[in-house]
């Protein structure tokens, strides 16, 4: 089992140690406080990173789907397929 201190774990996640402390204190990221030192397990860092990656990828995909849907509405006449003007009403 590989463990990291606060600074090492922050470097792995590419975040500031203060941000990592907040994540650990809030329980968003698993960590143990041994005495005055935070200890992070490699597996928990990997799990957190994968979780965030999946969440953000899902958000980007949903956002892209929304944009695509709006763009397709804007490209269309907004008339249903097969719609023809009623030429008898003149």
Tell me, what DSSP letter sits at residue 80? P
Q: Is the dihedral of CA 50, 56, 62, 65 positive or negative?
A: negative
Per-residue pLDDT reduced to its tens digit, 34-66 = 999 999 999 999 999 999 999 999 888 887 777
Res 79: pLDDT: 62
pTM: 0.68
Q: What pLDDT, on a 0 to 100 scale, did the predictor assign at position 7?
A: 98
Residue pLDDT, tens place only, 7-28: 999 999 999 999 999 999 999 9
Phi, psi of 41 (to 5 degrees): -90, 140
Say if CB 4 and CB 40 are below 8 A apart: yes
Closest by CA position to 11, among listed 2, 20, 24, 23: 20
Residue 11: its pLDDT value, please? 98
Q: For residues 90 and 67, give the distance between their C-alpha atoms in angstroms, rounded to a whole number.
A: 39
- According to the model, what pLDDT value does residue 61 have? 85
Instruction: Give the Cα separation of 40 and 43 in Å (integer).
Output: 9
């Amino acid at each position: 089992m590989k463990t990291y201190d606060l600074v090492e774990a922050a470097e792995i996640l590419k975040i500031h140690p203060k941000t990592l402390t907040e994540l650990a204190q809030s329980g968003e990221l698993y960590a143990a406080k041994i005495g005055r030192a935070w200890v992070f397990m490699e597996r928990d860092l990997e799990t957190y990173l994968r979780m965030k990656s999946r969440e953000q990828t899902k958000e980007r995909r949903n956002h892209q789907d929304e944009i695509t849907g709006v763009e397709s509405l804007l490209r269309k006449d907004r008339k249903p397929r097969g719609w023809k003007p009623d030429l008898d009403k003149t």
